[in-house]
Amino acid sequence: MKKRLIGALLIVLICMLMVGVAECFRNEPIVTVAINTEPNEPNFADTIDKTIGSVVHIFNNTGGWQGSGVAIRPDLIVTARHVVEDGVDFTITDNNGVEFRATRAISSKKYDVGLIKLDKPVLTPAEFGSIENCRLGQQVYVVGSPYGKINFNAMSLGIVSGVNRNYDPLNSWEGDYGWSVAFTTDSAGHPGNSGCPVFTMDGRVRGILVGGFSPSLIIVMPVDLFLSEVDEIDRMFLMDKWEREVAIDEAAEAWNY
């Protein structure tokens, strides 16, 4: 009889414990972990999407070489001087893969940049900013076509690695190429990147890639230098309004062939 009573008490006690535990779980609030999908800082990919449309590939049909460039205005491209050198015929490819022909280019030996004028305003201009607002170690990125169109509008990331550089004493060419006011970046620069824009992370172009000592020591010409002379640049292109004379084969003209 005593054993039965102890067993019954144990059963009752176990049931009470089970009910209590169940009640605890029933009243316990469900805890969930919230995952924040909003970025804490501007999305870099979004910045690329907004800026890459101003970058173009340039093929110098006259000389057979190529490079990169960026639109200052819908009809005006800036690039490195050697990309336009001796060129009177260019194929420009925008970020959508659309090709345009250009036949007018001028260059500045002082700033080591070249400019190409399109007949129609078809490009998306970039936003520009002064190098004076930048600091040593500030992040930058470049967009261009390293080793040609097969790597069309590829990008690489780096920093401002040097400011106020003076490379004129190293120039083997005659005259001043304006490299005394250059800055440098360690963003990758290869053949085909010549003339490409160097952006800061706010999406503003701070300079144009014009040369380098190695693929990671790149010389950049600040946009401050030539953008202050856009009016003079326009006048230079206006001087080209006269028709260019070409040699005529008189025999072919006489016989209409």
Residues serving a catalytic function are 82, 112, 194
State CA 50 to chain mean position distance: 10
Structure-token pair, residue 159? 């920093």
Structure-token pair, residue 68? 């990169």
SS (H, E, C) the chain: CHHHHHHHHHHHHHHHHHHHHHHHHHHCCCCCCCCCCCCCCCCHHHHHHHHHHHEEEEEECCCCEEEEEEEEECCEEEEEHHHHCCCCCEEEECCCCCEEEECEEEEECCCCEEEEECCCCCCCCCEECCHHHCCCCCEEEEEECCCCHHHCCEEEEEEEEEEEECCHHHCCCCCCCCHHHEEEECCCCCCCCCCCEEEECCCEEEEEEEEEEECCEEEEEEHHHHHCCHHHHHHHHHHHHCCCCCCCCHHHHHCCC
